[in-house]
């Protein structure tokens, strides 16, 4: 069990670091990424004016999924311009491609 846990820790750390590098390269500078000490989930905050539903639907149309941040709040009235990204599930190639798509969509949104 210990060797499997060591493998998972290394695997998740490598994927998380890869995702952080791609986000730094591709996402607008206006986003804030919370860098966890461990794990494989990233929390990304966008400017409050971001239309998360539009970003979410546009990303889904390009076969890229993320969990909108509003799912983690108890109040439906609260506007949440954030997303949770899972770095462990997709292959490395799919992770990079998906983050590049999200970066392009977010950059397009900022220019509009």
Mind listing the pLDDT tens digit for each residue in 29-76?
Answer: 999 999 998 889 999 999 888 889 999 999 999 999 999 998 888 877
DSSP characters over 4-48: HHHHHHHHHHHHHHHHHHHHHHHS-TT-EEE--SSSSEEEEE--T
The pTM assigned to this predicted structure is 0.90
Tell me which residue of 8, 15, 13, 6 sits closest to 90, measured CA to CA: 15
Both tokens of 45, joined, read: 């905050």
Q: Domains in the chain and their CATH numbers?
A: 2-111 (3.90.1150.10)
């Amino acid at each position: 069990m210990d060797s499997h846990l060591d493998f998972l820790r290394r695997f998740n750390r490598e994927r998380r670091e890869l995702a952080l590098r791609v986000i730094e390269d591709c996402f607008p500078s206006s986003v804030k990424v919370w860098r966890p000490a461990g794990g494989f989930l990233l929390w990304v905050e966008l400017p409050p004016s971001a239309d998360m539903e539009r970003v979410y639907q546009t990303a889904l149309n390009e076969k890229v999924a993320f969990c909108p941040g509003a799912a983690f709040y108890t109040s439906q009235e609260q506007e949440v311009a954030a997303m949770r990204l899972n770095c462990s599930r997709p292959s490395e190639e799919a992770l990079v491609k998906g983050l590049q798509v999200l970066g392009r969509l977010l950059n397009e949104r900022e220019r509009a």
